[in-house]
Homo-oligomer: A and B are copies of this chain.
C-alpha cells in the first residue's frame, strides 16, 4: 500500500513539513509538488535584494533542490496539483500538459498566497511589478541596473531557475529615474527604501490615511516622517485611479484625482490573498478571509488533509479565534508541527499573536496582538490605549533614540491586548517582550512589574515598555 506524505507547495510550510516528517520517520515516502521552478526562497528578502543590500538572488534560497533531495524528499518541480479528492485520497497532478493521479496517506496543502493587483487598472503594464515572486524581483533589480553594469553572473546559483527572457528584457532597458509605489504596507515601505537606494524619485500612494495600518497611529507617523526625511513623496489618503502607459506599453504615470504623476516604474503592494483554488473544488472548508480552516493540529475538515502557511488561518492568542496573518515564522512553525504530527507525534501548530516588524531606513517598528479598538470590541474587550515616548538608553549614554510605545489593554480585566513600538535604537526587537507577555496572558500590572534588563547602553532604568505599562496601568487604576 502506498501512503506517501504528499505536500503541495515547495516553500516555507511545505518544506518544513516534508523535512521534519522525513527526519522523524525516515522510511516514510515524502513527495513535494511545486508548480514553479523556485523552491524554499525568502519572500521577505526580496526588497533587500532589489535594493542591492542582498547581493545575489541565490542568497535567498534557504535550500537548493539538491539539498532537499539529499534529505530524502522526492521533490517534483514544475508539477502543479490541480485537484484533490479527499474521498479517494488522491491528488491530480499536471506536468507539461500531462495529468496523473497520486495517492496520498497524508496531504498538506501549502499553496501560499498571491499578490493582489487586479483592483489597480494598468497593473499589467510593462514596468509594473508585484514583489511576490523571485522572477519579478530579479527583473526589477535588472531594470534598476544600468545595462552596462548588468552582470548575469550575479545570478550564480539561481541561474537555472530564473526567467531569463524576462530578466534580460528589463536589463536591456534604461533604468527608471522615478517610481510609484501603490500601497503603504510592508512591501511599500520596504520598497521605498529600496528605490531610494537607487536614487529614484519615489512616490508612495496609500489609500488609507496611514501607512502600515496594522501598526496603528504612532509607528505609522514615525515611519511617514522618516520616509519624508529621505525624500519619499507620500500621497496618503489617496486612491490610485489607474496606472497609464507612455509611448510603448510601459507604465509612464499614476493617475490620482485626475492628475497624472509621471513615473518610470511602479510596484503594486496592496495585499495578498490565500491560494485556495485547489481546495475550493474539493469541498474543504474555508475560514476567515477565505483562508483554509484548520484545527489546533493544522487539520482541515477532511481526514488526513492538512493546511499550513499563507493559505491557512491560525488561532489568535489574544482572541482565541481564527485569524489570517500570513507571515514567515507561522508557516515554518506550522509546517514543522504538521511534519511531526504526520510522522506520529501529534504536535500543535501553535497560536499567533500577529507579531510583525518592519524597517524603513533607520526606523524600526514592531507590533503584536490586537491594537485596533474596533477589532478589540468585536472580540469582547473594552479597549484602552496609551502611547508614550521615552529614550532607548540612559539619558546620559550616547546613541539613544526616542522610542514610542503604544499599549492596548482591556479595561475590565487589565489584560494586555496588544502593543506597538517604533524607534531607531533596537526598537523592533523589543516587541518580542510584548508578544511573550501577550501569550502569557499578562495584565498591564504584571507587565509593569517585569524584571527587564537595564544597563546604560541598552535601556534606561525603566525600559520604554515599562514606562508605557506604568502610564496605562495608571489609566486603568
Contacts and interface: CB of A to CB of B under 8 A. Distances in A.
Interface of A: 12, 42, 44-45, 48, 53-54, 59-60, 317, 327-330, 332-333, 348, 350-359, 364, 366, 368, 394-398, 426, 428-433, 435-437, 439-442, 446, 449-459, 461-463, 465-466
Contacts of A395: 59
Nearest to A466: B329
A56 to B, nearest CB: 8
Interface centre among A59, A327, A433, A435 (most CB of B within 10 A): A433
14 contacts: A45-B396, A53-B397, A54-B456, A59-B395, A352-B451, A353-B451, A366-B453, A426-B429, A428-B453, A429-B459, A435-B451, A436-B442, A436-B452, A439-B451
A166 to B, nearest CB: 22
A201 to B, nearest CB: 24
Given A456-B42, A459-B429, A451 B396 contact: no
A357 B457 CA distance: 9
Given A394-B42, A397-B54, A458-B357, A452 B428 contact: no
A44 B455 contact: yes
A42 B395 CA distance: 10
A31 B353 CA distance: 47
Given A328-B461, A436-B436, A60 B396 contact: yes
Given A398-B53, A458-B359, A354 B453 contact: no
Contacts of A350: 449, 451
B42 A359 contact: no
B428 A430 contact: no
Given A60-B396, A396-B59, A452-B355, A458 B429 contact: yes
Contact of A429 (B354, B368, B429, B446): B429
Given A332-B461, A436-B450, 18 more contacts: A42-B394, A44-B394, A45-B396, A48-B457, A53-B397, A59-B396, A60-B396, A351-B449, A355-B453, A357-B455, A357-B458, A428-B455, A432-B432, A436-B440, A436-B442, A439-B449, A439-B451, A440-B440
A438 to B, nearest CB: 8
Nearest to A350: B449
Nearest to A54: B396
A351 B454 contact: no
Shortest Cβ-Cβ A-B pairs, 10 listed: A440-B440, A350-B449, A59-B396, A353-B451, A436-B436, A357-B453, A432-B433, A357-B455, A355-B451, A329-B454
A308 to B, nearest CB: 14
A302 to B, nearest CB: 25
Contact of A397 (B48, B461, B463): B48
Nearest to A329: B454
Contact of A42 (B366, B368, B396): B396
A472 to B, nearest CB: 16
Interface centre among A328, A395, A398, A456 (most CB of B within 10 A): A456
A456 B48 CA distance: 9
Contacts of A426: 426, 429
Contacts of A60: 396
Contacts of A436: 433, 436-437, 440, 442, 450, 452
